[in-house]
Structure 1
Amino acid sequence: MLRGRQAECREIRSLLAAPAGKALLLHGEPGSGRSTLLAYAHRHGRGRRLLAAAGLPDEAMLPYAGLQRLLDPVLDGIGALPERQREVLRRAVAGEGCRDQDQLVLSHAVLGLLAEAAHDGPLLCTMDDLDVGDAPTARLLTLVARRLPQLPVVLLLTAGSDRGADAIPGRRLLPLDEPDSHALLAARRPGPPPPGPVLAGLSALAAGNPRALVDLADSLTHGQWRGVEPLPTTPPADGGLGRAYRGLLSRLPGETRRALLLAALAATAPAAPDLADHTDVADPVTLSRALRAAGDSLAALAPAEAAGLIRFTAPGGVAFPRSLARAMVEATASVTARRDAHLLLAAALDGTGARLRRALHLAAATDGPAPALATELADAVDDRADRSTAATALARAAELSDDPVLAASRQVTAARYAWQAGDPGRARALLHRVADVPVTSPTGGLAELLRGEMRLRCGSAPAALPNLLAAAGALAEMDRESALVALVRAGEAVCFCGDQYRYAEVARRMAALRRDGDPPWADLLTTLVAGVAATLRGDHAHGGPLLRRAVVFGDRLTSAAATPTALTGAAVAGLLVAVDAAAYRLADRAVELAADRGEVSLLPRALELRAMSEYWLGRHEAATQSCREGLRVARAAGQRSSAGVHLGLLAVLAAVRSDHDASLGHVAELGDVAVPGSRPHALAEWALALLDLVDARYADAADRLAALARPGTGRGQVLVQVMATPHLVEAAAHDGRHARARAALAVFDRWAGSTASPLRRALSARCHALLAPRGSAEAERYFRAALSLHPCDAATFERARTELLFGRELRHARRPREARGHLHRARQTFILLGAEAWARQSTVELRAAGESVGTPDPDAVRLLTGQQLRVAHLVASGATNQEVARQMFLSTRTVDHHLRNIYHRLGIRSRTELVRALG
């Protein structure tokens, strides 16, 4: 099975099954599977006679050598050709070449020869590595490929690029995605697959290149495969991919190879790259100086650009479109060539102020201990340095150090930078080298903190907790700042795995570390943990003021004092006391700060909190975008646990808008991350309960939500259950289990009553209305209280849900006229938000209340995007463009643009016609 190449295989089978002649060029980087796909075609072309050849470097200077090998089995049919074609073809395959004016004659001769051979059955002709062999054969086969439709001949060609193959159908072989990369790795060796972090690390290293994945899987030791030894940093230079690159490089002129190595060693990733962008760029000034010192110029790199290894960027820059190509250029060079190139680059950086880059090049050219250079490297790293580069510098400084204690300290700091850069595999490899350092030492304590943090985000939260508590204990007297962070992370681990009863121990340890006169960030963290502990034990009178104080501390942090950890802590406090706007502001600031500093490891958590605050603010689309971004970053950074939280939140958000397929898809993606009792599992259960509620499976919904936590025991996801309590009460009330609903509501009320949030109080009033006797004055009083409390400018979905439930209550009480106003408002809001199932429920209730309600024209719904449909409904309801812009958080210009597209798609010209189109 060719992993990740199903589309190419289908296309090949389609070509082989077609009666008419066709051609296809498969092109891609070395190791992308071009030859493998030709072998696939050979296996599936059994009904066709096979003519196969490959471009050979040794024959690149022999005109038509490749053509001669391809046609050799059928050259005995040359006598059937017209005399002129026969003579031109004979001269070409005999090595005499072909004049330019005879090129067309030669192509017709080849076509005629193939037609003659096809009398005995259709043909399959393949030429591998077309661009490696002689150029005349490549030119001729592209001419032939354009003239095949009248012949029963399939021509499959492969090359590194589609350069010079105009008008030939081509397919670029893209890198494999992560699931296919994982599947290829797991299938490569017998026995159980490697752990998730190993799969993720190898996939990132191979950058989706199939040959690199195979080489890595074949070369790993058993310990590396099982995740107990560090992974390599590049695919093996002596593997298939290394041989392919050596062959490619050997065909370049010597000065090009030297210049290309300089460019590869001078290239770095952008300072704050998108994790999906693997482009490495060489500094043009440094490269130009180094090339001049070597007696070369940028012009020497032209053959490398023609080979697809680099591309020139203005002005005078060089970029490697594939980081794997840059790595293989370096890996396949000799030790001497690399040392000379590093020294040239170091000299080029003299006097430029680029201390870190110069020291890195000097270090790469140095063998054995070099304490002075190690110190220079370590001193050159500061907060402005790219995290990945800083990790490289400190790891090399550790290798050059002659003091074991100093070397271990630098190694741990390098691991911390690698983790912050979003590379947990590299961080683990660096920590592996200090496994023997005692936890009780400062270096050991910091290493234990990092191990715990990585386990929390990437692996098992229960397993992370001992590491984090041990780190806090070891660092309490030596590095109180890190000890405080360790306890905050320990508290996160406790909440993630649903063992809230253990939070008291975290709070006790944190209280012992508190000092009078602490800086604001430290006061924030200690106050946060104390407030969370009080909230988890239900003491809101004590916890609420502490958490509000933590929010104030977060808002007051200056740019110099703020850290993503402190800001996310303040955002947590804001969510727990329901100051959603402040929580959003703090979380968004944490996202910006982590991105600016290149601290990728902190982004998923900050995005999770931003999404949660957006959910409570009723900005469901914005929350979905935050979660998608958080999921992408978490996956790219190997944070499986964090990815699970984002998938769970995405499932909840999809269920809120009654999108069954999307919600169930996100739940299915969770896999083994959703351990019962964990936060991802609780979020998934909340999402499934919402879908049950939409489909009127009230008993199932109530059972799911009641099982999220066991109040009074400190076990389970108490915070998630509290958030979902309005849905639990609604489901239990419909199912007639009021006792269960009242027990959950009592917990929610104690929390909501301690906040100043109108929304939480509105939800509480709605829950009490649902539990009041049907048709009673008490129910009506609570519903009206809820509507008066609901904010008008936020959380419009929850207000619409209250309108729907109140309208239903009034209809059941035989007051249809009063019900219709509430149901109309609910329906309109649901349509605007794209919550189709809730809109349908409102429509059903309106009809039951005696109102004839049309449905939107299905063509309109089909033709418009979700955003356009919401704009259309607002405009049809009478809103001006400025009012639409305010309600949807858009600019007026964007609304104008949407409206023009809506009119065009629906074929209408006025707002009146729009009203009719939308029913």
Structure 2
Amino acid sequence: MAGLTTVTGPLRMYGRSAQLHAIDALLTGVRDGRGGALMLVAAPGLGRTTLLAHSVRSFRSLRSGTALSTRAVPAESLIPYSGVHSLWCTGAAPRPLPKEPGALLAVVRELAGGHPLLVCVDDAHLWDAASRAALGFAARRLGGPHPVGLILSVAARRADDPHLAGLPVVHLDPLAPSEAAALFDDVTRGGADTVVRDELLHAAAGNPGALRALVAALTPDQLAGRAPLPRRLCAGSAPAYGGVDPSELPPETRELLLLAAAAHEPGAAGSGADAELVLRAGAAAGLDVAALLPAEAAGLVRRTADRICFDVPGLRRALYAGAPPARRRAAHRLLASALDEARAPALPRRLHRALATTGPDARLATALTAAAEAPGAAPSPALRAAALSAAADLTQTARDRALRRAAAADHARLAGRPAQARELLAAAASESADTRVRGTVELIRGRLALGDGPVADAREALLLAAELLAPHDPESAREARLGAMAAAWDMGDAEAYLAALGTPADCPDAAQSASADTGPRAERTRTEEPPPTRPSSPAPLPHSSPHASPSEASLAEASLAEEYRAAMAVVMRGRLRAARHGLRGVVALGQDAEEPSRLLRAGVAALVVGDLPAASRINARALAAARASGAEIHVPQALEYLAYAELRAGRHARARAHAEEGLRAARCTGQRNIAAQHHAILALVASMEGEDEAVGAHAAAAARTADRHGLAQASTLVQWALARVDLGRGRAPEAAARLGPVVRPGPRRGHFAVRMLAVPCFVEAAALAGEPEAARGCVAEFAAWAAQGADPQAPAQLARCHALLAAPEDGDALYAVALARHELVGGDFESARTQLLYGKWLRRRRRPGEARGRLRDALVSFERCGARAWAEQARAELRATGEAGAPEPPGGLSGLTPQQLRIARCVAEGATNREVARRLSVSPRTVDHHLRNVFALLGVRSRVELSRLVARSEQLTAPDEP
């Protein structure tokens, strides 16, 4: 039990950024003399021990103190103070150990001796009760001046231990699919067969311990795909389950666990199985409820009032897949009988009966399909997918079997299970070459590629699906065209979008809508820029019988889709004003819907027409509907549209919250394309807040996927975010160079939905860089776009652009117009940018008194919305007008004038005299004159010495970290 844990070899962490950040913050505090504690909580196999080893390594790398580590031994859990004694032995404390609640606190403080000390305790829940009480007592008192840090790990099932209450908790969840894949590639060095890779990732369910154990159990030939995988691949291993091998449990316990695994509703991860159902089925087999106790004692399952939950990720699947088929069928037979007695809903009863059947059964397959497709209070897509897959297994006719398999694949897609969907699609495609089967398979493949794949490939698959399905299923053919439109939008290809709409005969309302605007402006306007969003992903694939009459919901969806197609045909021809009536009709038709797909389509229409309150309301409703129905595939997209609405309304903090949540959801559902969109949104938010490192990280992540999959919208947003960083730091020429190709015509032109929104940034950068002529053509195009009412901020931004490019005598009036328009629509950030530019303009015209008022207003607004880099610009401008700032430290920069101080700081950042002149709107000769005076006043001889002096001064004036 005692002894220092030894860690060999480099540790690579996957998917633990939040946990590592919390640990690094604690270690830094200990190094700086502030104590603290953390409790790592996770199920077995999720990496508690690895994180503790990382903590020890990181602390030792600081070379500023001592790190001690110990691990509990279950055999000593009944010996009072055995845990405290183990730590006492590890640290070789020089005096006898007192046995009292404060013993551990005295020990660690004595071991520290006033120097930084890190103590790590693994599996602290296995310590004896007296030691756990001492551990909690010490951990709660480590804050303050004592440089002692304590990190302990606890099993998830013991996280509510009252002895450890009140400690800061860090939870470890299963790895996201991309993170688990990266770990697998590292463990196997990229040498595994792709099919084997997918099988093992699916079996491990994001549990890194289980993944490593599964890989270790295979031979090199099995990993390479040259030998078959073992039948019990998913059975797991003792190391993955906290040292407990499920196969060593009593037979009655294993039987009851299999019943619980079989009773688990598909898609209800974490919610467990119905305890009453499992126990009733077990009683029918002669199993007593006490048979569950060994599994509970081992920490494998947890029983609440009405549920039986598997605490170890992957264990439920491992138990079920590892059982012989005959035992699985027997379990489902018992569950079906128990459900019959309780008169439960038809779908779960028929599903269990189907899973207990050994051969084709046309009658049961038809009944199960009908239950899975029943309208009303629909079950989750995951349950529908399981039911339709089981119905396909019972179906003898190849065509019908393939169609049911494809329908199951689409519901698996909706449930956020792309791997399962692709597996079902492959089976469906191999079972029948029927035209409708091929069209349905291509439709679902295209939809999957929309979320994770090259969008040009997705468009081609969806267009092929529309062609194949048109004679057999017009409704699905229409949905395929809508999906092709979405792919073309992501590609940034307006012509491809119009082609996906179909011929004029397919979209008869387009011409009628286009003629609705009869004014001369409508005929002249040919801009192509709707706001930054893309059409919604298609509605769920209809699975009803081809002979059934269309339902009211189906007719409403068809009406909404046709209205949407007609309106977007007009929008994409550059006539947003003519399409407004149709778009508002889409909003009206879909805003009260219950289906996520209809709500998302209405939410897109609201964004395109510029109705941001409606867009926020409808997309929030779509998010709630997706979660309530289990359509996990729609959750990240609803959050993306919500983030766009918040961004355009100037609510950046809300946009960040939605995008962060959307990024997690996109990763969990395997939608890398939507994850890239969320990264781009987060880069934009960070560019406003002045978080340069975050901008770079999110921009790089978005660009990686955008470049591979052809996501033009994400690529354009990334360039816009990076240019805003340049502008916020006063690097106007760099911002102009980055945005020029995006907003101007040419082969590198940005996405048609984003480029107009970036024009005000480009105009500002070009004007500040002394190149106003480069922006005049863009302003004319922006004016035509703004006149169509696409964006509430556009009129104020247009007036600001005119002010930046106007003659000096017109500047006052144009800035006044811009500020008045900002008052009408709100938005602190854009209004503050106008105030800042106006203040700069006034200062350059030697009107410092007027400039101060504008700059103070800009500073307050920037601080209110968290735009730190922009706020610093406003402060610097205020200092240049003579406004008193924060006092400099004695012997520092306090003797410089405001202008000299600004020049000194720019030079300290590495700017040349010419670059400083551009930033401050002065001549290079003026900069040279001031810089010579700065050198003389500060007694420095080089730019390097000046940079060091400025850095020391900034450190002394920086506020203390909370």
TM-score greater than 0.5 by the shorter chain: yes
Give the alignment partner of residue 475 of structure 1, picking from 463, 466, 469: 469
2:585 matches 1:646: no
The amino acid that maps onto 1:264 is A
The amino acid that maps onto 1:167 is S
2:794 matches 1:760: yes
Give the alignment partner of residue 498 of structure 2, picking from 504, 512, 526: 504
2:322 matches 1:339: no
2:366 matches 1:375: yes
- Give, in angstroms, the shift of residue 633 of structure 1: 0.6
Question: Who is 1:815 aligned against?
Answer: 847
Question: Who is 1:845 aligned against?
Answer: 877
Deviation readout 1:536-556 (Å, 9 max, x if unpaired): 44x32xx33324422332223
In 2: Cα distance, 1:803 partner to 1:152 partner: 61
- State, as a whole percentage, how many aligned pairs show the same letter: 35
Question: Who is 1:690 aligned against?
Answer: 724
User: Structure 1 residues 801 and 855 mapped into 2: Cα distance closer, same or farther (>3 Å)?
Assistant: farther
2:761 matches 1:727: yes
* Contact 2:442 2:465 (8 Å CA) reproduced: yes
- Give, in angstroms, the shift of residue 250 of structure 1: 4.3
* Contact 1:577 1:755 (8 Å CA) reproduced: yes
Question: Who is 2:5 aligned against?
Answer: none
2:295 matches 1:304: yes
Structure 2 residue runs without a partner (length 5+): 1-9, 28-38, 58-67, 94-118, 136-151, 156-171, 513-551, 890-958
Give the alignment partner of residue 552 of structure 1, picking from 561, 580, 585: 585
- Secondary structure of the residue that 1:674 maps to in structure 2? helix
In 2: Cα distance, 1:587 partner to 1:224 partner: 44
Deviation readout 1:441-466 (Å, 9 max, x if unpaired): 22322221111111111111111111
In 1: Cα distance, 2:424 partner to 2:713 partner: 30
In 1: Cα distance, 2:275 partner to 2:324 partner: 24
* Contact 1:709 1:716 (8 Å CA) reproduced: yes
- Give, in angstroms, the shift of residue 700 of structure 1: 1.8
In 1: Cα distance, 2:714 partner to 2:832 partner: 28
Aligned length: 745
Q: Aligned-residue CA RMSD in angstroms?
A: 4.4
User: Structure 1 residues 158 and 696 mapped into 2: Cα distance closer, same or farther (>3 Å)?
Assistant: closer
Question: Who is 1:66 aligned against?
Answer: none
In 2: Cα distance, 1:302 partner to 1:566 partner: 48
* Contact 2:577 2:789 (8 Å CA) reproduced: yes
- Give, in angstroms, the shift of residue 397 of structure 1: 0.9
In 2: Cα distance, 1:380 partner to 1:189 partner: 44
* Contact 1:424 1:638 (8 Å CA) reproduced: yes
Range moving further from structure 2, 374-383 or 746-755? 374-383
Deviation readout 1:127-175 (Å, 9 max, x if unpaired): 99x55xxx6x764698376256257789999889737576267534856
- Give, in angstroms, the shift of residue 308 of structure 1: 0.5
- Secondary structure of the residue that 2:286 maps to in structure 1? coil
The amino acid that maps onto 1:476 is A
- Give, in angstroms, the shift of residue 318 of structure 1: 1.9
User: Structure 1 residues 353 and 233 mapped into 2: Cα distance closer, same or farther (>3 Å)?
Assistant: farther
User: Structure 1 residues 335 and 505 mapped into 2: Cα distance closer, same or farther (>3 Å)?
Assistant: closer
- Give, in angstroms, the shift of residue 193 of structure 1: 7.5
Question: Who is 1:862 aligned against?
Answer: none
- Secondary structure of the residue that 1:319 maps to in structure 2? strand
User: Structure 1 residues 347 and 213 mapped into 2: Cα distance closer, same or farther (>3 Å)?
Assistant: same
Structure 1 residue runs without a partner (length 5+): 15-24, 44-123, 272-277, 858-915
- Give, in angstroms, the shift of residue 607 of structure 1: 1.6
Question: Who is 2:286 aligned against?
Answer: 295
- Secondary structure of the residue that 1:718 maps to in structure 2? coil
Deviation readout 1:521-572 (Å, 9 max, x if unpaired): 43443443444444444x32xx33324422332223374x554333323333
In 1: Cα distance, 2:217 partner to 2:505 partner: 52
User: Structure 1 residues 688 and 580 mapped into 2: Cα distance closer, same or farther (>3 Å)?
Assistant: same
* Contact 1:311 1:318 (8 Å CA) reproduced: yes
In 1: Cα distance, 2:190 partner to 2:605 partner: 47
- Secondary structure of the residue that 2:303 maps to in structure 1? strand
Give the alignment partner of residue 408 of structure 1, picking from 379, 402, 405: 402
Give the alignment partner of residue 784 of structure 1, picking from 816, 830, 833: 816
2:622 matches 1:628: no
In 1: Cα distance, 2:219 partner to 2:668 partner: 22
Question: Who is 1:909 aligned against?
Answer: none
2:779 matches 1:745: yes
The amino acid that maps onto 1:455 is A
Give the alignment partner of residue 666 of structure 1, picking from 698, 704, 725: 698
* Contact 2:743 2:755 (8 Å CA) reproduced: yes
User: Structure 1 residues 157 and 787 mapped into 2: Cα distance closer, same or farther (>3 Å)?
Assistant: closer
- Secondary structure of the residue that 2:314 maps to in structure 1? helix
Question: Who is 1:146 aligned against?
Answer: 85
Give the alignment partner of residue 349 of structure 2, picking from 347, 353, 358: 358
Range moving further from structure 2, 251-260 or 653-662? 251-260
Question: Who is 1:281 aligned against?
Answer: 272
User: Structure 1 residues 303 and 587 mapped into 2: Cα distance closer, same or farther (>3 Å)?
Assistant: same
- Secondary structure of the residue that 1:696 maps to in structure 2? coil
User: Structure 1 residues 624 and 289 mapped into 2: Cα distance closer, same or farther (>3 Å)?
Assistant: same
* Contact 1:660 1:691 (8 Å CA) reproduced: yes
In 1: Cα distance, 2:438 partner to 2:602 partner: 29
User: Structure 1 residues 317 and 625 mapped into 2: Cα distance closer, same or farther (>3 Å)?
Assistant: same
The amino acid that maps onto 1:333 is A
In 2: Cα distance, 1:200 partner to 1:550 partner: 45
Range moving further from structure 2, 579-588 or 177-186? 177-186
Question: Who is 1:871 aligned against?
Answer: none
Kindly report which structure 2 residues correspond to 1:855-866, keeping only aligned pairs within 5 A, or say none.
none
The amino acid that maps onto 2:417 is D
Question: Who is 1:528 aligned against?
Answer: 564
* Contact 1:462 1:493 (8 Å CA) reproduced: yes
The amino acid that maps onto 1:821 is G
In 2: Cα distance, 1:512 partner to 1:206 partner: 45
- Secondary structure of the residue that 2:207 maps to in structure 1? coil
User: Structure 1 residues 144 and 182 mapped into 2: Cα distance closer, same or farther (>3 Å)?
Assistant: same
In 2: Cα distance, 1:647 partner to 1:848 partner: 37
Deviation readout 1:313-341 (Å, 9 max, x if unpaired): 12x43222234122223233344433322
The amino acid that maps onto 2:301 is I
- Secondary structure of the residue that 1:349 maps to in structure 2? helix
- Give, in angstroms, the shift of residue 238 of structure 1: 5.8
In 1: Cα distance, 2:612 partner to 2:69 partner: 66
Kindly report which structure 2 residues correspond to 1:163-242, keeping only aligned pairs within 5 A, or say none.
167=131, 171-172=153-154, 177-178=175-176, 181-191=180-190, 202=201, 205-215=204-214, 236-237=233-234, 240=237
- Give, in angstroms, the shift of residue 599 of structure 1: 1.2
- Give, in angstroms, the shift of residue 187 of structure 1: 2.6
In 2: Cα distance, 1:198 partner to 1:749 partner: 54
2:256 matches 1:259: yes
User: Structure 1 residues 716 and 556 mapped into 2: Cα distance closer, same or farther (>3 Å)?
Assistant: same
* Contact 2:683 2:698 (8 Å CA) reproduced: yes
* Contact 1:761 1:789 (8 Å CA) reproduced: yes
- Give, in angstroms, the shift of residue 619 of structure 1: 1.0
In 1: Cα distance, 2:585 partner to 2:208 partner: 50
In 2: Cα distance, 1:125 partner to 1:586 partner: 53
In 2: Cα distance, 1:625 partner to 1:39 partner: 32
Deviation readout 1:786-807 (Å, 9 max, x if unpaired): 1111145631211111111112
User: Structure 1 residues 356 and 205 mapped into 2: Cα distance closer, same or farther (>3 Å)?
Assistant: farther
Question: Who is 1:396 aligned against?
Answer: 390
Deviation readout 1:289-309 (Å, 9 max, x if unpaired): 223323334333122111101
* Contact 1:369 1:400 (8 Å CA) reproduced: yes
- Give, in angstroms, the shift of residue 671 of structure 1: 5.5
Give the alignment partner of residue 772 of structure 1, picking from 806, 825, 847: 806
2:415 matches 1:451: no
- Give, in angstroms, the shift of residue 845 of structure 1: 2.1
* Contact 1:26 1:157 (8 Å CA) reproduced: no
User: Structure 1 residues 552 and 397 mapped into 2: Cα distance closer, same or farther (>3 Å)?
Assistant: same
- Secondary structure of the residue that 1:171 maps to in structure 2? strand
